[in-house]
Amino acid sequence: MLVGETIQLLQLNRTISLEDSRPEETARRYLKQSGAHALMWGIVHNVDGQSAPRLYWTIPYKTIRAKKLYLLEKLELPALGSAI
């Protein structure tokens, strides 16, 4: 992040279904409609009685899927690299 730059979190209250034939396109459409730079979305699995989200990052030309499930006490966001 650049000095003086701020982050604004937006909650879209929309659903992206992994059962859709192209959930990444739905995510990009929501991203464009919101005017945001990145969209984080995903699905929550139950692992040994704990919630374990699988996260996706969508930017205008790419969607990145987390390689592993995240246990909430060890949550690390997937790297976008130089994608933005």
pLDDT in tens, the chain (84 residues): 456 677 788 888 899 998 888 999 999 999 999 999 899 898 888 888 888 888 888 999 888 887 877 776 666 665 655 544
pTM: 0.70
Alpha carbon 31 to its chain centroid, in Å, reads 11
The phi-psi region of residue 64 (left if phi > 0; otherwise alpha if psi is between -120 and 50; otherwise beta) is: beta
**Residue 34: what pLDDT?**
93
